Structure 1
Amino acid sequence: MKEKRKLLMELFTSTLYLSAFTFGGGYVIVSLLKERFVDQLHYIDEKEMLDLVAIAQSAPGAIAVNGAIVLGYKMAGILGIIVCVIGTIIPPIVIISVIAYFYKIFITNKIISAILLGMRAGIGAIIVSVVYDMALSVMDEHKERNILIMIGAFVLNYFLNVNIMYIILGCILLAFVELFIRRERA
């Protein structure tokens, strides 16, 4: 029981901290979740994290909350979901409430505008780092199919402007086809 309480406290404080100090959207928090739970705490391995990110991306809603849901469930079941989601949503609720209250002051302040502009560059670097790490992890599996899917999804989205929803649905369809073929062979 004490171990479970310690795990839940670790999940709460980690998601609260990451959510409070993460700017730039869900993909930034996903990279920090990976750093915290894979690299530092060693609760899950990198392949599991990639699977959790894939699930979080595929589900409707904010990726940060979806990531907290799948991570919390993986680590501690339903109670883990509750703890991780609460830890993830408290900081944005507080920050948005403060910003809404002081909106007129923030919108015209040159210092805050400069800070936000500087933060964009850092956010871009973090997102590039996440994409690079995830691409390397996919390539490390040495499955040509995964590499082709990754390259195809990039080309379809970036160069041909195909909506990401269609790409995700196509990947789900490919997974079902592969599952069907495997079952037929077995």
Structure 2
Amino acid sequence: MSGEKIKTCLWLFWINLFIGAFTFGGGYIVVPMISKYYVRKKHLFSKEELLSMAAIAQSTPGAIAVNLSALAGHRTAGLPGVLASCLGAVIPPLVILSAVASWYEAFSSSTAVEAVLRGMQAGVAALIVDIVVDMWRMILRKKSALLHAMVPGAFVASFVFHLHIAVILAVCCILSLWHVRIKQERRCG
């Protein structure tokens, strides 16, 4: 491995260690952090590519944050980037959860910890809304009636009809594949 690739992998490890240590609230919370460091500061890929990676990370098994760090690491430095990114991404939650498990009684009864967690929930909600708006803007740029209908359709299916998210994802994937096939047939035919 070249010196430049080693330097990139070390950066991937440290930035994912940092992101893993300071992002609480679930997988989509890492997207703004990855956008800040990978897209805006380092220009390693575009925001559209990041949102596509986030969609893939959401639809694959496992933790979204780790999946997204693996995809970003692969895009940046190949397999060594995946290993460095994943290692950096899993160490902080492992350490934090081990500490919380060790002192569960003290954490569970602390009003200060409860207040901090409630405050973090508000921040997490704002970050999730920001990601949803970014994804919606990307969908609107595609100028596709199917994609425009899919977003509110998925929302209604989830919140009104309480369909399982796996069913919603499967239907969206099938509809998207069908849409792509029809577009290809029109071009060829």
Cα distance, 1:144–1:36 mapped onto 2, change above 3 Å: farther
Q: Does 1:139 align with 2:136?
A: no
Q: Does 1:20 align with 2:60?
A: no
Partner residue, 1:110: 111
Q: TM-score, normalised by structure 2?
A: 0.90
Q: How does 1:9-88 map to 2 (within 5 A)?
A: 9-88=10-89
Task: Give the counterpart letter for 2:76 in structure 1.
Answer: M
Deviations 1:55-88 (A, max 9, x none): 1011011111111121112221111111111010
Q: Structure 2: which 5+ runs fail to align?
A: none
> CA–CA distance in 2 between the matches of 1:159 and 1:98?
39
> CA–CA distance in 2 between the matches of 1:121 and 1:21?
15
> CA–CA distance in 2 between the matches of 1:102 and 1:43?
40
> CA–CA distance in 1 between the matches of 2:183 and 2:121?
45
Partner residue, 2:5: 4
> CA–CA distance in 2 between the matches of 1:85 and 1:114?
31
Q: Give 1:151 deviation, angstroms.
A: 2.2
170-179 or 117-126, larger mean C-alpha shift: 170-179
> CA–CA distance in 1 between the matches of 2:79 and 2:10?
14
Q: How does 1:144-159 map to 2 (within 5 A)?
A: 144-159=145-160
Q: CA RMSD in A?
A: 1.6
Q: Structure 1: which 5+ runs fail to align?
A: none
Partner residue, 2:127: 126
Task: Give the counterpart letter for 1:75 in structure 2.
Answer: T
Deviations 1:29-63 (A, max 9, x none): 12321232122221111111121111101101111
Q: Percent identity?
A: 37
What is the SS of the residue equivalent to 2:143? coil
Task: Give the counterpart letter for 1:113 in structure 2.
Answer: E
Q: TM-score, normalised by structure 1?
A: 0.92
Q: Give 1:147 deviation, angstroms.
A: 1.6
> CA–CA distance in 1 between the matches of 2:159 and 2:35?
25
15-24 or 121-130, larger mean C-alpha shift: 121-130
> CA–CA distance in 2 between the matches of 1:85 and 1:44?
18
Q: Give 1:90 deviation, angstroms.
A: 0.3
> CA–CA distance in 1 between the matches of 2:54 and 2:83?
18
Q: Give 1:101 deviation, angstroms.
A: 0.9
Equivalent residues, number: 186
Task: Give the counterpart letter for 1:6 in structure 2.
Answer: K
